[in-house]
Structure 1
Amino acid sequence: MQAKNDIIAQDLANKIRHKIYEPGDFLPSENQLADLYGTSRETIRKALNALLSLGLIQKIRGKGSIVLNLDRYSFPISGVTSFAELNKELGMHATTKVLTLEDRDNLPKQFIEYFPEEESSSGIHLERLRLINGEAEVLDCDYLLNPPIESIPKQVAQASLYQYFEYELGLDISYATKEITVVEVDERIKELLSLSNNLAVLVASRNYLADTTKFQLTLSYHRPDRFKFVDFARRKKIKL
């Protein structure tokens, strides 16, 4: 069952996306939102923190939560979040087309430049095209290492890998390292994403379980004209 704070965050994100709350507007106060949704202030705080991590709002001390200007979809850099989860949070109504799902004895050529240490690793090669309003926006290329991933049903590849990994396989997904660059892509990727030139934003990720086992390598190609990547850095004071 979906948590109440997640339901509230999704509803607020949809209202921001559809300009019910416009850029520069302040959201209702925590007390007002608690009354509106019939829940506690703590639940509202969790929902607002989810919007904050997605770059949809900024909290201003003494004033509340202001809606940020969003002319493109925002993808948080620091979190370990699946596209399916972002799709739900941001209300993008995206669909997924599975292009490749195959077992391999070694790493596909396109991955070797970014993950040379896994060149001889067996795993599952998965490519998925993400479409928003019928237009291709993201190409996600994953290599799921075996072990711990032994198989992926096609219906899972079409939906959410992380739901399957966490709730069916019982894996404890914990952290990731990410490298973000602008790269020149081949003609296939250019055509898939309908790029005006051969440049795309690439997020290369190594994803790990809580016991430090590496389980997923990802090359995620994004259209640079449609997406922005956001993060929030908090200063931690250290007395020298």
Structure 2
Amino acid sequence: MNNLQATSSKQMIIAHDIISKIKYRQYRPGTYLPSENQLTELYGSSRETIRKALNELNDLGMIQKIKGKGSIVLDTQRYTFPISGITSFKELNNSQEMNAQTKVLHNELSQVPEYFLARGVDETQEATFLERLRSVNGEPVVLDKDYLLKPSIQGIPTKEAENSLYEYLENQLGYQISYATKEVTVESPTDEQKSLLQLIDHEMVVAVRSMTYLNDTTLVQLTESYHRPDKFKFTDFARRKKI
């Protein structure tokens, strides 16, 4: 591991530890985190690494950095699935300690769904279809349907699909995932969704459909995610950026 990777890993470990302390109310909303000097001593790290970790928390909306005073803990609810970001289920599980599991239901070749064809995807486009059921503490909460477009991707090992799809794409295939467009709707569930997500009568499902691109603008992934509305709250955090 080079110095850049080690620093990045260290800052994420520190950021996750502070998130955990905020979650368990060791650092309460409205109070200040220890100073950068104190955090440097606490974690045995450089001040630059501490600043990068705090910037991560600032961008997530966990804290507000106030010049000359420090970093105050914001009164926000715990994040689940931030709509605007591109984050894997495994990354969320690790950062939020959700005790989550993933079960692969299908891993096969498929055609692209009508929703994406209506948005310009070629109807002759073949895809590797992954259907995965996400559970938290043994309860099903999300049904993910991913379409990995060929010829960019020639199949996904089931073991990797159970672990982390993005980790496989980025670390093993060398892809650089850059951005995504997303649409969120509330819909009546299909019989399959009712059964897999254990929905009760008349309960709706939250559908999140996205198109994910590489940094060279290549469309690489289409996703339909169906969420139990009683288990996940969709939140986002926005910072003002002048244009």
Question: Residue 55 of structure 1 contacts residue 74 of structure 1 at CA under 8 Å; is this kept in 2?
Answer: no
Whether 1:163 aligns to 2:171 is no
Distance 1:78 1:21, change over 3 A: same
Q: Which portions of structure 1, spanning 4 or more consecutive aligned residues, are displaced by more than 6 angstroms? A: none
Identity of aligned residues (%): 51
1:115 and 1:40 map into 2 onto residues whose CA distance is: 50
1:55 and 1:147 map into 2 onto residues whose CA distance is: 38
Corresponding residue to 2:140 among 136, 141, 146: 136
Distance 1:27 1:179, change over 3 A: same
2:60 and 2:240 map into 1 onto residues whose CA distance is: 15
- Displacement of 1:214 after TM fit? 0.3
Indicate the RMSD between aligned Cα atoms, in angstroms: 2.1
Q: Which structure 2 segments of 5+ residues have no match?
A: none
- Displacement of 1:204 after TM fit? 1.0
- Displacement of 1:44 after TM fit? 1.9
Kindly provide the amino acid, as one letter, of the partner of residue 8 in structure 1.
Answer: I
Match of 1:35 in 2: 41
Distance 1:190 1:233, change over 3 A: farther
Corresponding residue to 2:50 among 44, 50, 69: 44
1:194 and 1:73 map into 2 onto residues whose CA distance is: 23
Match of 2:115 in 1: 113
Q: TM-score of the superposition, structure 1-length normalised?
A: 0.86
Question: Residue 143 of structure 2 contacts residue 226 of structure 2 at CA under 8 Å; is this kept in 1?
Answer: yes
Match of 1:74 in 2: 80
Task: State the SS of the aligned residue for 1:45.
Answer: helix
1:112-149 residue CA offsets vs partner (Å, 9 max, x unmatched): 12443333310111011111111112111100000201
- Displacement of 1:17 after TM fit? 2.6
Question: Residue 30 of structure 2 contacts residue 72 of structure 2 at CA under 8 Å; is this kept in 1?
Answer: no
Question: Residue 130 of structure 2 contacts residue 147 of structure 2 at CA under 8 Å; is this kept in 1?
Answer: yes
1:87-112 residue CA offsets vs partner (Å, 9 max, x unmatched): 112222211111111112x22xxx31
- How many aligned positions are there? 232
1:190 and 1:49 map into 2 onto residues whose CA distance is: 41
Corresponding residue to 1:146 among 127, 144, 150: 150
Question: Residue 31 of structure 2 contacts residue 73 of structure 2 at CA under 8 Å; is this kept in 1?
Answer: yes
Whether 1:199 aligns to 2:201 is no
Whether 1:6 aligns to 2:9 is no
Alignment of 1:168-187 (within 5 A): 168-187=172-191
Task: State the SS of the aligned residue for 2:235.
Answer: strand
1:201-229 residue CA offsets vs partner (Å, 9 max, x unmatched): 22211111111110000111222233222
1:74 and 1:129 map into 2 onto residues whose CA distance is: 16
Kindly provide the amino acid, as one letter, of the partner of residue 105 in structure 2.
Answer: L
Q: TM-score of the superposition, structure 2-length normalised?
A: 0.85
Distance 1:149 1:67, change over 3 A: same
